[in-house]
Structure 1
Amino acid sequence: MDSRSWMLLEQEDPRWRLPDDLRRRDPFAARDCGWVEQMRPFIRQFSRPGERVLDPFCGFASTLLAAHLEERAGLGYEIDPARAELARERLARHGAMAQRVVAADILREPPQGGIDLCLTNIPYFGCGWASGDPDQLYASADYAGYLQRLGERLRLIRQLLAPGRYCIVMAENPQLGGQMLPLAWDVARLLAGQLQLCEERVLLYPKPVEALAPMSCHSDRSHEYALILRKQAEAPAPEAGLALLRAMQAAGLRFALFGSFAAWLEDAARPWPADIDLLLPAEDAAVNALLAWLQGQGFALSCWQQPLELPVRLAEYRGRYYFRAERLQRGGERLRLDLCFELDGADVAERLGGLRFCQGLPLAG
């Protein structure tokens, strides 16, 4: 792989192409089967021989076959049992017996041990095919629900990924109902809430060119995006974090520090934490006052990667534990606050008893 922001994939090597007899056995003729050539450069660039490559939506095991050819250990999840069996048969024909396909949703049977590289092509919304499994992303009835369920699986990927290693997700912006669906960009937003978005590559595929009628904007969708993310700490912004907390304190907002940021305040020799954890009183009025103040300071508010609309009612968010506030600074630093209103299902006030919010903190200076 070189520094070009695009990759031209001119033809599929017939040696690695999904065999026609296996393709015919798929209800959709394997129309969403990726190219092995698409995956190999990323495996070579972002992993080492013998390391573990995960594809959480492995389909017909193109990623796993590429991992086999590059001498990596592949682990794939395919929720549809029939497709999983086709994937295993394909790998067996290439002698790739060490590559493992699990016929399950990754949330149900998460892998043990760390992952060195996650490389996948996401299942697309609106494809019109479902296996009958309610966890099948193809079966999502609406786009918001699809993104929420996809986000749940991406959060697990972050937990599994070894520190400093990469997750590469391939996606395009498809046409749906006569309009472009900004799926690749929405997936980038989802992922950026979990990992550091580092780069992208535009993958180009040759297709026959057709003339367009006047005023037509149709395209042949001959490209997709490879979103490159890394599990690593954000650039430190200690002074900005402290200034923000002091401003919150001066505004009379109610909160208490806990977690890694509170430990850093006690011992500045510790590494700068990736985010600031705050406990909030589990009261609608107090929480909405703090959220509205942060929004006015340029913070984007979300809950589990979904945008937050104010005012909130905490009763509607039971079991979600926290809201997130993020702001990208001009120098590229990112300030991230996790605003917790529950701990292990209990209200903060109940759990901490007589805690005096925003008292005794070494913030005023």
Structure 2
Amino acid sequence: MDSRSWLVLQPDPPELQLPDDLRARDPFGGRDCGWVAQMRPFARHYAAPGARVFDPFCGFGTTLLAAALEGRAGCGLEVDPARAELARERLRRHGVDAPVATGSLPDTSAPAPFELCLTNVPYFGCRWPGDGDARAGQLYLERDYEAYLRRLRDLFHAVRGALPEGGYCIAMAQNLNLDGRSLPLAWDLAGILGGLFVAREERLLCYEREPHTLASGDAGTDRSHEYALVFQKQRERICLHSTGDELQALRDAGFAFGLYGSYPRWLADPGAREPADADLLLPDDQAEFDRLLWWLHERHYRLSLWGEPLHPPLRLPRLREHWYVRAQRRDRLGRLVRLDLALAGHAERQAQAPMR
């Protein structure tokens, strides 16, 4: 892989395409089967030889086959039992020993540890023709776009928990056109991943298609591209100076809070590892907590609850269920302030920070 931000992909040779007899056994006719050529450069570039590559939307085993061709191991999850069996059969024909489990994150764990998550997400709005148990859990079947995005967030949250520090999560997606309306799936997915990982880059994947002339004013395109969104699990360092200024601004505004975790340890020992956030312990007071959220909102902080965007107010029972609210903002120089807000009365007793 070179430095170009785009790749022009060529169709797979016949020997790597989904065999016709397996395609005929699929309710979709295999029309949503991806290309091995799409996944090979990413498996080669982002996973070391012998490393394991995981696909949480395994489908027909395309990513796992690509990983094997590049000297990497593979494992996958597929929610549809019939497709999982098709993937196993396809891999067996290529002599590839890669576990494919039936199920979906977060309810079903990956069948093996992995160093790279590489996948193409199921697209919203598909008319899945399967029935019975095969329909259970299908993202294809989500009737509501926000519910679909929430499920993607939960799934990639589980990926983050299993991915080792420094590992990459690469998801491929295309913005959609449903009934003449544009749906920014790729960009919404990037927002979800940005709440869980550190954004590294994007690649534009281009497919050669024969163009045709459009009528004047016709905004349609042939959708001959998609995005490869490259994210990494890594502790992104906050700006310590800006964080100190914001904590002082909180005190000046009359907010009581305690500090615990890595930030006060760094204050006590500046030679310690720099913190990735500042953890705040707050009084168990609904009115004061709402005031704080609005104060942060007015200072243009992005508020989230486990990656899901949050707009104040927030009831304290829900905060207790999710442990903390994350508030972060970035200035024009890229300096990051990240505050994690938890209730002092609900925190573990290791956080013995005085209120001040």
TM-score (norm 1): 0.91
| Greater alpha carbon shift after TM alignment, 87-96 vs 300-309 | 300-309
What's the CA shift string for 1:46-65, capped at 9, x where partnerless? Answer: 11111111111111110000
Query: For the Cα contact (< 8 Å) 1:234–1:333, is it kept in 2?
Result: no
Query: For the Cα contact (< 8 Å) 2:281–2:341, is it kept in 1?
Result: yes
1:240 to 242, 246, 260: 242
Alignment map for 1:103-118 (pairs within 5 Å): 103-111=102-110, 114-118=113-117
Per-residue deviation at 1:357?
A: 6.1
Q: What letter matches 2:322 in structure 1?
A: R
Say what the alpha-carbon RMSD is for the aligned residues: 2.1
* Counterpart Cα distance in 1 of 2:237 and 2:333: 9
* Counterpart Cα distance in 1 of 2:215 and 2:246: 55
Q: Percent sequence identity over matched residues?
A: 48
Query: For the Cα contact (< 8 Å) 1:204–1:223, is it kept in 2?
Result: yes
Which residue of structure 1 lines up, in the alignment, with residue 149 of structure 2?
A: 147
Q: What letter matches 1:62 in structure 2?
A: T
* Counterpart Cα distance in 2 of 1:115 and 1:257: 35
Q: Gaps spanning 5+ residues in structure 1: where?
A: 360-365
Which residue of structure 2 lines up, in the alignment, with residue 162 of structure 1?
A: 164
Alignment map for 1:1-365 (pairs within 5 Å): 1-96=1-96, 98-111=97-110, 114-129=113-128, 132=133, 133-341=135-343, 347-348=345-346, 358-359=355-356
* Counterpart Cα distance in 1 of 2:187 and 2:355: 38
How has the CA–CA distance of structure 1 residues 281 and 135 changed in structure 2, closer, same or farther, with 3 Å as cutoff?
farther
Query: For the Cα contact (< 8 Å) 1:113–1:160, is it kept in 2?
Result: no
Which residue of structure 2 lines up, in the alignment, with residue 362 of structure 1?
A: none
What's the CA shift string for 1:291-325, capped at 9, x where partnerless? Answer: 11112222111223222122222345552222111
| Greater alpha carbon shift after TM alignment, 221-230 vs 139-148 | 139-148
SS at match of 2:200: strand
What's the CA shift string for 1:113-156, capped at 9, x where partnerless? Answer: 74211100011111122664543222222111111111111111
Q: Which runs of 4+ in 1 moved over 3 A?
A: 111-114, 130-134, 315-318, 355-358
| Greater alpha carbon shift after TM alignment, 262-271 vs 62-71 | 262-271
Q: Gaps spanning 5+ residues in structure 2: where?
A: none
Query: For the Cα contact (< 8 Å) 1:253–1:289, is it kept in 2?
Result: no
* Counterpart Cα distance in 2 of 1:316 and 1:273: 27
Query: For the Cα contact (< 8 Å) 2:101–2:111, is it kept in 1?
Result: no
SS at match of 2:159: helix
* Counterpart Cα distance in 2 of 1:56 and 1:5: 25
